[in-house]
């Protein structure tokens, strides 16, 4: 039944204005006739504590965390789901009020959403994977791709400690071999790489005219090159990969798949991925 006080969900990030999740969630809620709303919130790091408290105080069902809050939000939570605990990053928070006192649980659906979008293009089983970046999205994708059967995961990052930490996580918690590779200028991608993933913020606003510093001539034609960036979906990185003869995978499939999981966690319902995808295609004129 429609009321004048819908259940609230949303996202905390910086910058929020370029995040289309609000559009697909609202479209799916309406399609399912659910009295829910999704609010996209610009939350700089220094305001995260207040944002979390505000969501609890206003009765929110949960929220997403995007850049730069996926690790920092953990200190504000009461517990972590298994995948989030392994990954060490959270992109979805569920606020459970069933026992009277709100309990905040951190989930991570980034990697699950990515693998679901990757499988129709290339099964990660037996693949050598290179991931650019070592932030929350990179950690999530690395763990889930490893759990899906990848042979090796190479983490490329400019900060050695962060890159090595993700590689060590893969080595110690999964059956895949984890490796750290320093990000040198015009990075040479190792021969035999089957899947190359940009999990950095290069390509997001305000860096949409940039691409990761990679020597595309070193990428084997036929490699699957993926980008987590969703706005714009056809990034400079993916355009360069297509010109090289690679198979490309934009971030829209990952966005839809993780949104479906998020919605199920908040509402207990399975919403329509087709509705979400159509809304993205309408927004971006695809």
Q: Report the residue count for the chain.
A: 286
Residue (of 106, 44, 104) closest to 71 by Cα position = 106
Q: Please calculate the CA angle 216-222-226 and round it to the nearest 5 degrees.
A: 65
- If residue 95 lies in a helix (H) or strand (E), which one and from where to where? strand 92-96
Residue (of 177, 168, 119) closest to 139 by Cα position = 168
Q: Where are the alpha helices (DSSP H) in the chain?
A: 21-31, 48-57, 82-87, 110-118, 136-147, 160-173, 236-243, 252-267, 273-284
Number of Cβ within a 10 Å radius of residue 242: 13
Phi, then psi, of 145 in degrees rounded to 5: -65, -40
Cα→Cα distances 137→69, 108, 126, 257, Å: 11, 9, 22, 14
Active site residue 70: yes
End-to-end CA distance of the chain: 34
- Evaluate whether 25 touches 263 at the Cβ level (below 8 Å): yes
- Evaluate whether 278 touches 285 at the Cβ level (below 8 Å): no
- Exactly one of 69, 70, 76, 139 is catalytic; name it: 70
**Active site (catalytic) residues:** 70
């Amino acid at each position: 039944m429609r009321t004048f006080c819908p259940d609230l969900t949303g996202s905390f990030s910086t910058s929020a204005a370029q995040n289309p999740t609000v559009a697909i969630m609202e479209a799916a809620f309406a399609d399912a006739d659910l009295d829910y709303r999704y609010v996209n919130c610009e939350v700089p790091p220094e305001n995260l504590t207040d944002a979390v408290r505000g969501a609890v105080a206003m009765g929110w069902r949960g929220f997403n965390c995007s850049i730069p809050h996926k690790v920092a939000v953990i200190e504000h939570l009461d517990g972590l789901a298994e995948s989030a605990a392994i990954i060490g990053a959270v992109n979805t928070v569920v606020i459970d009020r069933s026992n009277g006192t709100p309990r905040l649980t951190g989930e991570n659906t980034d990697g699950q959403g990515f693998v679901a979008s990757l499988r129709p293009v290339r099964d990660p089983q037996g693949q050598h994977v290179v991931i650019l970046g070592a932030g929350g999205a990179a950690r999530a994708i690395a763990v889930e791709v490893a759990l899906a059967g990848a042979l090796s995961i190479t983490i490329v990052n400019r900060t050695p400690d962060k890159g090595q930490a993700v590689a060590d996580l893969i080595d110690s918690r999964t059956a895949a071999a984890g490796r750290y590779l320093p990000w040198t200028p015009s990075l040479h991608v190792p021969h035999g790489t089957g899947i190359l993933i940009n999990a950095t913020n290069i390509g997001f606003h305000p860096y949409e005219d940039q691409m990761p510093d990679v020597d595309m001539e070193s990428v084997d034609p036929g490699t699957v090159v993926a980008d987590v960036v969703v706005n714009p979906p056809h990034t400079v990185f993916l355009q360069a990969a297509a010109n090289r003869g690679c198979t490309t995978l934009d971030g829209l499939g990952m966005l839809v798949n993780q949104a479906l999981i998020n919605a199920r966690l908040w509402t207990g319902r399975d919403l329509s991925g087709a509705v979400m995808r159509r809304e993205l295609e309408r927004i971006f004129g695809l």
